[in-house]
Amino acid sequence: MVSTPVAPTDAELAASLDGEFTSAHAEVNGTRLHYVSGGAGDPLVLLGGWPQTWWQFRKIMPELARRFRVIAVDMRGMGGSAKPETGYDKKTMAADIRALIGHLGHESAFVAGHDIGASVGYHLTAGFPRAVRRLVTMDLGVPVESWLAIPMLPASDEQVASLTEGRGGYPWWFAFNQLQELPERLLDGRFRLLVDWLYGHMLVDQASVDEQARRVYAHAYDSPEAIRAGNRWYQTMRQDIADLDTYPPVTTPILTLAAEDNYALLREQMADRGTDVHVVAVPGSGHYIPEEQPEFVVDQLTTFFAQS
């Protein structure tokens, strides 16, 4: 087994950011969530994706904290949060975040989510509409029926080329994360290999995610327990799709930021996800938008939230 270098603690990472950010935990909805908060103003909850932690928002948190009370959350199964056996459907994870917002003394908050966090943010908005003032989703909408038809094999020469030429485009990890036991056996102590592969294929600028960040993410997932928890975000997606039919129409304004290559797809997927949805392409960015184009993200979020 390859050993992963020790990464800084969450408290050390929080203290390293410009501004006064602190690391804390809260017992909510039957689980324990870790979050980092700082700044003053209206609450803004940031929800991250796989395979990352709250640290993926490090580049946007200091500037956002000039206008908002920023709360970057490790969701159920992520980073410093608990990793229970169950509760990884996005409806339950959304209830975790709703409880955290109340625990922190707020009736509602602005919410921005990336990847899996975007899906949790949407379920939060749909299930608890009074808790979300406005929602931003980044490079993911919500699981939809078409996801059930993703082919087992690459469907085109272009998808094959994307794998061999160092680009994304074929989400093989959707299937890989459905497996029981094998992922943790393969990746325990070796998770850095997966981190580097994903960034290698889904960043325009490799330097936008530095060595420390990659070490932080690898360390956070480099155990069987953490690998299993991350897998379960994917294993519950069929339930997430079914749960979408239980919600009333979403009227909360939604802004979706999409990597340039995903813009057309997300515009189509988000078209009927609410009555007030706007999709914007992020120039010069791959999937990991908050890390690759932080200034653009800050500008989009502050402008969109100011319209409330």
115 is catalytic: yes
Distance, CA of 133 to CA of 34 (rounded, Å): 23
Tokens 């069987």 locate to 224
Q: Are 78 and 220 in contact (CB under 8 A)?
A: yes
Specify the amino acid at residue 102. Answer: G
Distance, CA of 48 to CA of 124 (rounded, Å): 14
Distance, CA of 203 to CA of 189 (rounded, Å): 24
Which token pair is 58? Answer: 């490090």
Q: Name the strands in the sheet holding 22-28, side by side, starting at the edge strand that comes first in the sequence.
A: 22-28, 31-38, 68-74, 42-47, 109-114, 132-138, 254-259, 277-282
Catalytic residue among 115, 139, 240, 261: 115
234 is catalytic: yes
Tokens 């078409």 locate to 146
Give the chain's largest Cα–Cα span.
Answer: 52
- Give the angle subtended at the CA of 145 by the CAs of 256 and 275, to the nearest 5°: 40
Catalytic residue among 123, 217, 287, 288: 287
Distance, CA of 92 to CA of 207 (rounded, Å): 36
Catalytic residue among 114, 234, 240, 243: 234
196 is catalytic: no
246: CB partners within 8 A, 6+ apart:
none
Catalytically active residues, by annotation = 115, 234, 287
